[in-house]
Amino acid sequence: MRLTRICRLLTQGFTRNQYLRTSGRFISCTSIRSDEILTSGGFTKASEERDPLPLFLSEEVQTWLQKMTGFDIEKICAPKPFEADKPTYRQLTQDELEKEKQRAIQIAKRRLQMPPVMKIRDGSFEVLQKDPGLNMFSNAKHVFTDISFGLKDRKRLIVVREPDGTLRTATGKERDRLNHVYFPEDGRAPVMPQMFEEEYLETILEKGKYRYILDRACVQFDPDDPEFIRVTHRTYEVVCERHQFDVLRSTRHFGPMAFYFAWYKKIEPLLTDMVQRDLLTDGVNLIKLYFKMHQELSSTEVLEENIDELHIIKNFCEKMVKNPNYKGQLQLAIQAYEAALPLQAKHSQS
Amino acid sequence: MAAGWFNLSRMAVHHLIIQGKVASTDFILCKAAIWRSCQGINNKCFLQSVRHVTFINKQTSVDIWKSATGVSNVGRKRGRARSSRRFVDLNKNRKLGEGREGMQWPGLNSPVFSRKDGREVNKLKVLPPNPEKQEELIKLREQSMKRKGRKISPLHRGWTGNKLPGTSIGCPDPVEDYTFEGFDTSVLEFKRVSSMTGTMGRRSRFSAFVVTGNGNGLAGYGIGKAPNGRSALRMAMNRAAQHLIYVDRYENKTVFHNFFVAFHKTRLFVEKKEQGYGLVCHRALKTIAQKIGIQDLYCKVEGSTRNIQSLTKAFFEGLRRQETHQELADRLSLHVVEYRPEMDNIPRVVASPMSNVREKREDGEEEVDFETLYYSGRLPFRKPKQEPFYSKYQSFERKMRQEYKRRNQPDALRLRIVHGLQPDYEVNRPKTKKQ
């Protein structure tokens, strides 16, 4: 009786939960109606790719990316577009002010935490049991979720009993949905908002709201969600096309963006921007990252020992850049930098 | 037929009389003229001896109207003229010779001789009736009787109605070479005041109280009295321009700190506010703040809120006595640090002392509360919000309990509609008649 009621409610788009307590664990049962029928293992396309996560999390790469990001505290903590409140004032001694400044740096560092770069999760699942006796027990799938306290969303056990009696683990999409039902994230919509759909995404990017869409994607998706990867990659592409890298400096998205360009071997526009903005150290770090990722390329020609930053970039331009368009732009930027060097020296002397 | 035209001729003569163009003594003469002009069409004309001696043809239209609408001199002084009926010019837009029935009067409303050869004499003619003519005349008359008020944009109207306070009266008159460019003046108070004199008795004048400013820190107020309202305004405006003071503002937006200031019975508690808050204060203070160039402010007035002059003087005095952050930092030998919630509450140094900064506080020295530092020991009375009378009723509690269950439903419904999980019935709902 209860089951039919649950099913009837589900056809109207509602969910009803029923809590069971078994051996100290809280297991919740939800029935979901879904058109997709999964019977065999999922696609393995994503698993063929190289996993960028270990490289991204390595200490050396993190340091390079953090240095590239920059640390403009006024930009990191710029006024947010929500309702302001009245400011408070304090009168501080020198010691107290130093402590407060340290606290501000900690706040800003937290704001700059980079979202991890991961490969697309595979849609595979594991069949745990096939029970023909349960065939057609219901016309909806029943999902069992471990909602015990202290479990992480990615570790939580979620299994699905198909109407044909198959018991299997849940796919990534199902996991997202169920996790959101029991442990909703603040700001995450239950269904993907339309702005992430391709046509609407283009209009937002056209307006130059890169930071907004990236921030919003971090809230909405897990970092290995195919949608997250699609949205972020498209945004990086548009930023590169328009040469607007500076918008993302001092934000948490600059590191993953640089990582993306290095991963797909198109660092030239970003490198040009760094030379134009007199950020040669960043440029060298980017080149180092590039060679660390692609160890099949020999870095000995470019990263010679005991040469200065400008020469490394020059070497890179000459030996590694194939695209004539990119090469021309980078050469121009280097020439402009060299032309401005004597002026800079004079300025610093006076 | 004969009686018909006679009536017409009577009408025409009355017409002339009412217009005040012909005196009633000329009646017979006039009638004869008309009779002569229409001899051509009717030879069987006859004269009947009639006495038309009533007040209506003895008096001119002006006199007749006066009898209905006039007010005596005494009455006028007492203000009775205000409520009396207004004179209506019934002959407005009406041509001589035109009546209720259409007629062509040669020599009056049409030429005497025909246009063709200039020899033939035009004859009196009855034209087809035009019933719309009368309505048209009434409409035209009513239109011209209506007063045409000048339309003022809502932003330039005063605080209330057709009154002067709150309106702008332009920039002050130039003094030698200096033209007050960018200045604007607003009226704060405009009233009639009177005093008794030995020789003239009660002498009344207009008193104008205005504030002028350039919206960029420079402002002043002034008062002027004159028998004429306009000259009082001008006098006040020029006096205000002679008493300008410069008001220091924080980021050109708001005051430096909360402060208390009093003038006679008027006490102000002014609060510094964040950007975008607006001016939430007495309307006079709002006008003054606009003239100074303050954009964000809250002010609570305790005591007299009606005495505009005290209010203005108190506000200017308070602004003048402000201590800037730099002065505060110098006084305490400490950094003045700002924390803004929309900027993650990171410390932003707004002023550092010119001389040495203190490394440590003295023993037992407490931090100053910036909020109440300039309230001179007072605090504004904040009335606690009263709960509505029904809040303790059982029925209300019951209702709240019922609504508690449904508290998220409207939002959830909206979300489902937004994500396309549920059709929007509101959009497609057929319109039903209210019963």
Residue-level pLDDT at B434? 56
Is it the case that residue A38 has pLDDT exceeding 70? no
Averaged pLDDT, B244-269: 95
Alpha-carbon span A159 to A175, nearest angstrom: 9
Answer whether A73 sits within 8 Å of B342, measured CB to CB: no
In a domain, B399, yes or no: no
For strands B266-272 and B259-263, give the pairing. Answer: antiparallel
Domain of B136, in residue numbers:
89-146
A296 in reach of chain B (CB within 8 A): no
Closest Cα in chain A, distance from residue B285 (Å): 20
Percent of chain A with pLDDT over 70: 87
Residue B278 with chain A: CB contacts under 8 Å:
none
In a domain, B320, yes or no: no
The most confident of B150-159, B195-204, B312-321, B409-418, by mean pLDDT: B312-321
CA dist list (Å): A259 to A55, A119, A209, A280, A290: 10, 13, 21, 17, 8
In a domain, B112, yes or no: yes
Answer whether B415 sits within 8 Å of A89, measured CB to CB: no
**Among the three residues B246, B271, B296, which one is the final residue of a domain in this structure?**
B246
Alpha-carbon span A255 to A261, nearest angstrom: 10
In a domain, B270, yes or no: no
The most confident of A30-39, A75-84, B246-255, by mean pLDDT: B246-255
pLDDT tens column, A76-117: 999 888 778 899 999 999 999 999 999 999 999 999 999 999
Tell me, yes or no, whether B227 and B170 share the same domain.
Answer: yes
In chain A, where the domains are located: 2-43+120-182, 53-78+96-116+186-264, 266-350
| Contacts of A105 by beta carbon, 8 Å cutoff, 6+ apart | A73
In a domain, B332, yes or no: no
pLDDT tens column, B71-86: 888 888 888 887 777 7
Alpha-carbon span A257 to B176, nearest angstrom: 65
B336 in reach of chain A (CB within 8 A): yes
Using pLDDT thresholds of 50, 70 and 90, give the confidence band for residue B90. Answer: confident
B298 in reach of chain A (CB within 8 A): no
Taking CA atoms, what residue in A is nearest to B418?
Answer: A193
Using pLDDT thresholds of 50, 70 and 90, give the confidence band for residue A59. Answer: very high
In this structure, what are the phi and psi dihedrals at residue A181, rounded to the nearest 5 degrees? -65, -45
Q: Considering CB atoms only, which of A87, A101, A190 is closest to B338?
A: A87
Is it the case that residue A344 has pLDDT exceeding 60? yes
Is it the case that residue B14 has pLDDT exceeding 90? no
Answer whether B329 sits within 8 Å of A90, measured CB to CB: no
Is it the case that residue A43 has pLDDT exceeding 70? no
Residue-level pLDDT at B122? 83
User: Mean pLDDT lowest for which of A100-114, A268-282, B146-160?
Assistant: B146-160
Is it the case that residue A211 has pLDDT exceeding 90? yes
In a domain, B238, yes or no: yes
For strands B297-303 and B279-280, give the pairing. Answer: parallel
pTM: 0.71
What ipTM does this complex have?
A: 0.77
Using pLDDT thresholds of 50, 70 and 90, give the confidence band for residue A298. Answer: confident
**Mean pLDDT score of chain B:** 84
Residue-level pLDDT at B36? 52
Residue-level pLDDT at A47? 46
Answer whether B346 sits within 8 Å of A91, measured CB to CB: no
Cα B131 from chain centre = 42
Closest Cα in chain B, distance from residue A255 (Å): 22
Tell me, yes or no, whether B96 and B141 share the same domain.
Answer: yes
- Number of domains, chain B: 3
Q: Which SS3 state, helix, strand or coil, does residue A142 take?
A: strand
pLDDT tens column, A162-192: 988 899 999 999 999 999 999 999 989 888 9
Taking CA atoms, what residue in B is nearest to A88?
Answer: B339
In a domain, B222, yes or no: yes
Q: Considering CB atoms only, which of B275, B277, B342 is closest to A82?
A: B342
Tell me, yes or no, whether B174 and B114 share the same domain.
Answer: no
Tokens at A58, concatenated? 């390595």
In a domain, B287, yes or no: no
Closest Cα in chain B, distance from residue A19 (Å): 20
A349 in reach of chain B (CB within 8 A): no
Percent of chain A with pLDDT over 90: 56
Q: Which SS3 state, helix, strand or coil, does residue B358 take?
A: coil
Residue/partner pairs of B214-217 with CB below 8 Å, 24 or more apart: B214/B180, B214/B182, B214/B183, B214/B184, B214/B291, B214/B293, B215/B182, B215/B184, B215/B290, B215/B291, B215/B292, B215/B293, B216/B182, B216/B252, B216/B293, B217/B246, B217/B247, B217/B248, B217/B249, B217/B252, B217/B292, B217/B293
Taking CA atoms, what residue in A is nearest to B348?
Answer: A101
B273 in reach of chain A (CB within 8 A): yes
A14 in reach of chain B (CB within 8 A): no
Is it the case that residue B250 has pLDDT exceeding 50? yes
Ramachandran bin of A306, using left for φ above 0, alpha for ψ from -120 to 50, beta for the remaining angles: left
Using pLDDT thresholds of 50, 70 and 90, give the confidence band for residue B58. Answer: confident
Alpha-carbon span B230 to B102, nearest angstrom: 53
**Among the three residues B246, B265, B300, which one is the final residue of a domain in this structure?**
B246
Ranges of beta strands (E only) in chain A are: 18-22, 25-32, 88-92, 127-130, 141-146, 158-161, 166-169
Residue A104 with chain B: CB contacts under 8 Å:
346-347
Averaged pLDDT, A18-43: 52
B121 in reach of chain A (CB within 8 A): no
Averaged pLDDT, B229-248: 95
**Mean pLDDT score of chain A:** 85
B423 in reach of chain A (CB within 8 A): no
Closest Cα in chain A, distance from residue B371 (Å): 8
Percent of chain B with pLDDT over 70: 87
Residues forming a β-bridge with A63 = none
Residue-level pLDDT at A4? 43
pLDDT tens column, B23-49: 444 444 445 445 555 555 555 556 677
A13 in reach of chain B (CB within 8 A): yes
Q: Considering CB atoms only, which of B276, B359, B420 is closest to A94?
A: B359
Indicate the residue type of B382: R
Using pLDDT thresholds of 50, 70 and 90, give the confidence band for residue A48. Answer: low
Is it the case that residue A318 has pLDDT exceeding 90? no
| Contacts of B282 by beta carbon, 8 Å cutoff, 6+ apart | B299, B301, B305, B311
Q: Considering CB atoms only, which of B334, B342, B358 is closest to A80?
A: B342
Residue-level pLDDT at B45? 54
Is it the case that residue A14 has pLDDT exceeding 50? no
Residue B419 with chain A: CB contacts under 8 Å:
189-191
Is it the case that residue B165 has pLDDT exceeding 90? yes
Averaged pLDDT, B51-66: 81
Q: Considering CB atoms only, which of A85, A93, A100 is closest to B359?
A: A93
Using pLDDT thresholds of 50, 70 and 90, give the confidence band for residue B66. Answer: confident
